[in-house]
Amino acid sequence: MSLLPRRLNASLGLWVAVVFAAITLTRLTSFAATAAEPPAAEAVIRKRLALAIVAEEADQKREIRELALTGSKVVREILSAWPKDRILLYTGDGGVRIPALIEDETDADGKSRAARIDTGAFLADASGKTLRFATTDITTAETDAALRTVLQLALDAMALADPLPDARKTAILKLGNSQKPLNIVILQERLPLENDPDVKKAILESIALLQLGDPDPTVLKAAIEQLGRLRSIGSLDLLKRVSAREGLSPEIRRVLAESIHGIDNHINNVNLVGTFFRGLSLGSILLVVALGLAITFGLMGIINMAHGEMIAIGAYTTYVVQNLFGTGFGFSITLPFSFGGKPIAFGLHLPGLNATGSLYESYFLFAIPLSFLMAALAGLVIERLVIRFLYRRPLESLLATWGVSLVMQQLFRMVFGANNVQVGSPTGLVGHFDINDVSFGYNRVFVIGFAVLIVIGTWLLLTRTSLGLLIRAVMQNRDMASCIGVRTNRVNVLTFAFGSGLAGLAGAFLSQIGNVGPSLGQSYIVDSFMTVVVGGVGSIVGTVCAAIGIGTADQILQQTTGSPVTGKIVVLISIILFLQWRPGGLFSIRSRSLD
């Protein structure tokens, strides 16, 4: 198309590429691969496990401890199934007892298959037919209290050696909170083996937690000091309980008060930083949903009530792309009226790729540009069919776009159903990282980056491309632009499509943090208008400032008032007062077209 200049193409391409790179990076960091065991080693481990289960008591315990050292996934699975009576003892030919793991899933008759522990294959009869067992008439490998303790210790020790640092940390803190001094030994053994600084800190913290129960005052004092130094939030409860004890020496009381005070301060700092981060992330969400509106309403002056539905188109596109990567997508609609005695029905079925693993999860990379395109396409159609007749009548554009929004909501219901649909998050976007106890969710970091990129992209488009120049010219004075030879029709349609496309991008992101349903757009339309109006109609910078400001204020008030509703009310009242003071918003633009 002649109107899309090459420079624009380049800048658009650039920021889409950056978005991709950002996601790929976060995805890669989350692939802390759990290396698969070589098959030979697993076969040996399986044989030893099978023998251990039917072995004599003394041998059994030694064997369990040794197996635990292998850190194998199979061992963990079997050892945790054992005390739950899920190891079947099957009597094979010649009275040999074959242990097997009973499957969780049961069939229609309530029976389940069992996998032989020595080979991993399902138990089968002589003819090779898989056997099924009812839970009521089988003999399982029994455990007694002593054996269960051994199993638990083995499982705890294995959890400490888990390849994932997060899992190790959870296991360590679990031991730390167990209040069993016995566990100190396990933790101290693990300490020199541990390399991850975070996990090391957790071990020190857990040891100190367990030492709080020590009768020796010097150990107790050291433990309290240690916890204070580590700024251990989790220990606050226990420390307070210790301070309620009687007969503590004044020295210990002093240390205790110091540690508790230090931790309290630390919590305040964590909350402060966390609140600002959450404010920034909420602001970014507001910005992402409002930016499209800042173009269609702010620049073009159309009171676009269908903006929310453009967001929904983006979210549904993500859903469809997800399904195309999975089992496929199809729908059928029967219209409520008939033609010539026959009901009118049509449908569509798109086969899926049946992708799995990381290919399936990469659907989101494709969903982002597609949701932009689909929403832009819808915007294009709406502009041609409805809005182009209403540029001089803004109030009527309100009614017309509201009608369009109702029609689109009903379309969503007919195609996707009235219920919300499920959109799964790619693993790269689930999870978080902690810096000094403040947690940063990947999806939140992603939205902040995403918002920065689309703001830069929009700004580049408007100020550094010839299309941007034309857009600004047409929006300032449509007639004059037309007089000097600008094809205002084309500029209008492209601007509206671009604004709608931005809303579609917002939808793709919102599908990762909330609901996708026919009324998705309705929940964001008010927020979008609020952001644009507070920022100043027609000003992109204003929209950015308003979004971040409202988001941060909301989170700070939520934190200080302790209730999400009160926070929101205070924000809304302040906005009303603010608009009384500055009706034009933060950055009001004086322009003939807006007067």
Partner 1 sequence: MKFSPCNLLGTAAAAMIAFGTATAETVKVGILHSLSGTMAISETSLRDTLLFAFDEINAAGGIKADGKTYTIEPVIVDGASNWPLFAEKAKQLLEQDKVAVVFGCWTSVSRKSVLPVFEKDNGLLFYPVQYEGEELSKNIFYTAEAVNQQATPAVDYLLKMGKKKFYLIGTDYVYPQTTNLILYKYLLLHGIPVENIGGGFRKDADGKVISAGKYTPFSHTDYQQIVAEIKQFAASGDACVLNTVNGDSNVPLFKEIAAAGLSAADCPVVSFSLAEDELRALPTKDLVGELGCWTYFMSINTPENKSFIGRWDAWLKTESYPGVVKEKRAVDSPMVLSYDGVYLWKAAVEKAGTIGVDAVRTALESGSISFKGPAGKTTMQANHHTVKNVYIGETKANGQFKILKEFKDVAGEPFILKGLDEKLAAGK
* CB 20, min distance to partner 1, A: 21
Site for partner 1 contains 73 (CB under 8 A)? no
Site for partner 1 contains 513 (CB under 8 A)? yes
Segment lying near partner 1 (by CB under 8 A), choices 35-43, 438-446, 482-490, 540-548: 438-446
Measured distance CA(511)–CA(343) in Å, rounded: 34
517, 536, 538, 542: which one binds partner 1 (CB under 8 A): 517
Residue 133 and residue 111 in contact, taking contact as beta carbons nearer than 8 Å:
yes
Question: Using CB under 8 A, which residues numbered 411 to 430 contact partner 1?
Answer: 418-425, 429-430
Site for partner 1 contains 512 (CB under 8 A)? yes
What's the count of helices (H) and strands (E) in the chain, helices before strands? Answer: 22, 9
Give the tokens for residue 170: 């959870």
Site for partner 1 contains 243 (CB under 8 A)? no
Residue 594: φ, ψ to 5°: -95, -15
Q: CA distances (Å), 58 to each of 53, 64, 77, 233, 284, in order?
A: 12, 10, 22, 42, 62
96, 108, 484, 576: which one binds partner 1 (CB under 8 A): 108
Residue 103: φ, ψ to 5°: -70, 150
Q: Give the interface size with partner 1 as a residue count (CB under 8 A).
A: 55
Segment lying near partner 1 (by CB under 8 A), choices 79-87, 183-191, 293-301, 507-515: 507-515
Residue 64 and residue 154 in contact, taking contact as beta carbons nearer than 8 Å:
yes
Give the tokens for residue 289: 């949903």
Question: Using CB under 8 A, which residues numbered 250 to 279 contact partner 1?
Answer: 267, 270-271, 274-275, 278
Measured distance CA(219)–CA(212) in Å, rounded: 8
Question: Using CB under 8 A, which residues numbered 110 to 139 contact partner 1?
Answer: 110
Map 313-363 to HEC letters: HHHHHHHHHHHHHCCEEEEEEEEEEEECCEEEEEEEEEECCCCCHHHHHCH
Site for partner 1 contains 318 (CB under 8 A)? no
CA angle at 53 for the pair 49 and 55, rounded to the nearest 5°: 110
* CB 542, min distance to partner 1, A: 23
Site for partner 1 contains 170 (CB under 8 A)? yes
Q: What is the DSSP string of 132-171?
A: -EEGGG--B----HHHHHHHHHHHHHHHHT-SSHHHHHHH
- Nearer residue to partner 1 within complex by CB, 121 or 345: 345
- Nearer residue to partner 1 within complex by CB, 194 or 554: 554
442, 496, 529, 587: which one binds partner 1 (CB under 8 A): 442
Site for partner 1 contains 233 (CB under 8 A)? yes
Neighbouring C-alpha atoms within 13 Å toward the C-beta of 541: 5
* CB 33, min distance to partner 1, A: 19
Site for partner 1 contains 564 (CB under 8 A)? yes
Question: Using CB under 8 A, which residues numbered 21 to 50 contact partner 1?
Answer: none
Question: Using CB under 8 A, which residues numbered 572 to 591 contact partner 1?
Answer: none
Pick from 319, 543, 542: which is nearest to 420 by CA? Answer: 319
Site for partner 1 contains 84 (CB under 8 A)? no
For residue 213, give the DSSP letter: T
Measured distance CA(546)–CA(61) in Å, rounded: 65
* CB 109, min distance to partner 1, A: 9
166, 219, 414, 572: which one binds partner 1 (CB under 8 A): 166
β partners of residue 349: 330
- Nearer residue to partner 1 within complex by CB, 379 or 517: 517
* CB 149, min distance to partner 1, A: 16
Pick from 285, 217, 311, 297: which is nearest to 255 by CA? Answer: 217
Q: CA distances (Å), 313 to each of 294, 317, 388, 397, 505, in order?
A: 18, 6, 21, 20, 9
* CB 344, min distance to partner 1, A: 17
30, 143, 476, 523: which one binds partner 1 (CB under 8 A): 523
- Please report which residue ranges of 31-123 form alpha helices under DSSP H: 39-54, 57-70, 73-81
Segment lying near partner 1 (by CB under 8 A), choices 23-31, 48-56, 72-80, 235-243: 235-243
Site for partner 1 contains 559 (CB under 8 A)? yes
Site for partner 1 contains 146 (CB under 8 A)? no
Segment lying near partner 1 (by CB under 8 A), choices 12-20, 171-179, 316-324, 383-391: 171-179
What does the binding site for partner 1 look like in residue numbers (CB under 8 A)?
Answer: 104, 106, 108, 110, 166, 170, 173-174, 176-177, 233-238, 267, 270-271, 274-275, 278, 281-282, 418-425, 429-432, 439, 441-444, 512-515, 517, 523, 554-555, 558-559, 562-565
